[in-house]
Structure 1
Amino acid sequence: MPNAIYYTRAEYIETDTGNKVSRRATIAGPQNIILGGKTIISSGAIIRGDLRRTGPGHAVVISLGRYCLIGEGCVMRPPYKTYRGNFNYYPMKIGDHVHIGANTIVEAATIGNHVEIGKNCVIGKFTIIKDCAKIADNTVIPPNTVVPALAFFAGSPGCFVEDLPESTQEMVESQTKQYYTRFQPLPAER
C-alpha cells in the first residue's frame, strides 16, 4: 500500500467496529468511554474515563465519533468545576473525523465534526470547538473559549487567525479516512 503507516499487530488491539487502540495507551474507566468506530488511539495516549462526579452520580462519559485520531502522548480528561462546594466532572463529546496531534492536552466540553487540533496544544476546560475548525500546533486555548465553525486559531493564548474554506469538511474527512486506510499492520506479520 503506498504511503502506509505501519504498526506492529502485537501493539494494537482492534475492536469489532474497527477501532485500533495501542496497548501502550492508558484507557482508564473503559466502560465510560465510547468509541464510534474506526478510531485510532496512539501509543502513550491517556483517556480518563474513570473520573467521577462527587456523590452517588455516575462516572462521566467521554465519547468519540468515527474516524478520530488521538495522537501519541495525548491526555484527554473531562472538564471539571467546583459548584457549591462540590467538585464535579462533566461529559466530553468529540464528533466524527477529529484529528488530535501528539502531546496535546484536551479538557474540552465539546469538539465538533471535522476538527483538526495540532501537536503540543492545550485545550482548556469547557472549551467548545465547532465543526470544521482548526487549531495550530503549540496553541493554548483558554478555558471556556468557543472556537467558531470554519475558524483557524493559533497562538498562546489561542485567537482567531482566519476563516477556513467551505471545502474544509471534505478535506478533513478525506484526510482522516486516508490515514485510517494507510494505518496497517506490518506486512511481515500477516
Structure 2
Amino acid sequence: MDPPIFYSKAEFIETDTGNKVSRRATIAGPQNIILGGKTIISSGAIIRGDLRRTGPGHAVVISLGRYCLVGEGCVMRPPYKTYRGNFNYYPMKIGDHVHIGANSVVEAATIGNHVEIGKNCVIGKFTIIKDCAKIADNTIVPPNTVIPALALFSGSPGRFTQDLPESTQEMVEAATKTYYTRFQPLDR
C-alpha cells in the first residue's frame, strides 16, 4: 500500500461532496465552475470561470467530473475564438477520473473520462481528448486536435505515439481513487 500524501488541513477547503480545493489555488468565477465530487485542486492551480461570452449573463461553465486531480500550477481556461468580430469563450467539459499534471495549461473543449495529461503540457484551444487517452509529459497539443480513445500522444507538436491497452480505464480509475484516498490531512 502506498504511503499517505499529507496536506495541511488549513490549506484546503473540503466541500460536502468531498472536493478538496487549495486555498492557494485561484478559482475565478466559482459560480461558473462545477466540480463533480472527490476532485483535488492543488496549490497554485488557476481555473478561469470568470471569462464571459459577449453580452451580460453569458458566463462560460467549466465542469469537472468525479475524481479529477488538477496538479500544482495548472492553468485551465475555456477555449475562445473570434467570430464575426465578436470575441467568445466556449464551455469546457472534463469527464471523470482525469489527472492533469503540474504546470500544464489546458484550453480544451472536451476531455473524456479516464484521461491522463502529464506535467508541463499545453493542450491547445478546442482540443477534444477522447476517453482513456494519455498525453505524455512536456507535450504540446496544437489547437483543434482530436485525440482518439486509447491513444498516447507525445512531443511538440503532440503526435500519436502508440495505442494504449484495453485495461487503461481500470488502471486510471484505480490510480485516481488511490490518490484521493492517500490524500490525507496532516492535522486531523
* Bin for the TM-score computed over the shorter chain: over 0.9
Identify the residue that residue 159 of structure 2 maps to in structure 1. Answer: 159
Q: Letter of the 2:78 partner, please give it.
A: P
The alpha carbon displacement at 1:56 in A equals 3.1
Q: Deviations over 1:142-188 (max 9, x none)?
A: 000000000000000000000000000000000000000000001xx
Q: 1:117 to 1:2 in 2, by over 3 A?
A: closer
Identify the residue that residue 111 of structure 2 maps to in structure 1. Answer: 111
Identify the residue that residue 23 of structure 2 maps to in structure 1. Answer: 23
Distance in structure 2 (CA, Å) of the matches to 1:184 and 1:148: 34
Structure 2 gap ranges (5+):
none
Q: Do structure 1's residue 73 and structure 2's residue 67 form an aligned pair?
A: no
Q: Deviations over 1:20-43 (max 9, x none)?
A: 000000000000000000000000
Structure-2-length-normalised TM-score? 0.99
Please show how residues 131-142 of structure 1 align to structure 2 within 5 Å. Answer: 131-142=131-142
Q: Deviations over 1:78-123 (max 9, x none)?
A: 0000000000000000000000000000000000000000000000
Identify the residue that residue 45 of structure 1 maps to in structure 2. Answer: 45
Identify the residue that residue 64 of structure 1 maps to in structure 2. Answer: 64
Aligned length: 188
The alpha carbon displacement at 1:2 in A equals 4.6
Task: Give the alignment's Cα RMSD to 1 decimal.
Answer: 0.8
Q: Deviations over 1:7-61 (max 9, x none)?
A: 0000000000000000000000000000000000000000000000012351000
Identify the residue that residue 180 of structure 1 maps to in structure 2. Answer: 180
Identity across matched positions, percent? 88
Distance in structure 1 (CA, Å) of the matches to 2:2 and 2:135: 28
Distance in structure 1 (CA, Å) of the matches to 2:24 and 2:162: 37
Distance in structure 1 (CA, Å) of the matches to 2:80 and 2:123: 13
Distance in structure 2 (CA, Å) of the matches to 1:2 and 1:25: 26
Structure 1 gap ranges (5+):
none
